[in-house]
Structure 1
Amino acid sequence: MPRITSLDARVVSYRFDNRPRPLSLGSALRRDVVLVRVVCEDGTVGYGESFHGHAGSAVAEIVNSTMQEVVVGREVHETQAVNRETFARFVLSAGMSGGFLLALSGIDLAMWDAWGKVKGEPVHHLLGGSATDFALYGGGFTLGFQPPPELAEEVGRMRDSFGWQAVKLRIGDSPERDVARVRHIRAVFGAELSIMVDANLGHRYDVARVAPALADLGVGWLEEPYAPGSPARFVALRARGLVPVAAGENLGGAHEFADWIDRGALDVVQPDVSRVGGITEALRIAALARAAGLRFAPHISHSVLNHAATLHLLSAAGGDGVFEADGSVENPFRDGVLSGGPVLANGRASLPTEPGLGVLVNEDALGAYPGERGSPFPRTDN
Structure 2
Amino acid sequence: MATVRLENIKRRFNNVTAIEDVTFHIPDGEFWVLVGPSGCGKSTILRTIAGLEMATSGKLYIGEKLVNNIPARQRDVAMVFQNYALYPHMTVAQNIAFGLQMRKVDPNIIQERVMSVARSLSLEHLLERKPKQLSGGQQQRVALGRAIAREPQVFLLDEPLSNLDAQLRDDTRAELKQLHQELGITTIYVTHDQVEAMTLADKIVVLNRGRIQQIGTPNTIYSQPTNRMVATFLGSPSMNTVPAKFTSNGFDVVGQILPCPNSVREKLRPRIGQSFDLGIRPEHISIVESSEREEGEPGELTLEVKVVEPLGRETLLRTGFPGSSAILNVQIGTDILPQRGDRLSLKFNLDKLFVFDSATGDKLYP
* Structure having greater relative contact order (Cα 8 Å, sep ≥ 6): 1
Verify same fold: TM over 0.5: no
**Superposition TM-score, scaled by structure 2 size:** 0.30
Structure number with higher helix proportion: 1
Looking at secondary structure, tell me which structure has more strand per residue. Answer: 2
* TM-score (norm. length: structure 1): 0.29
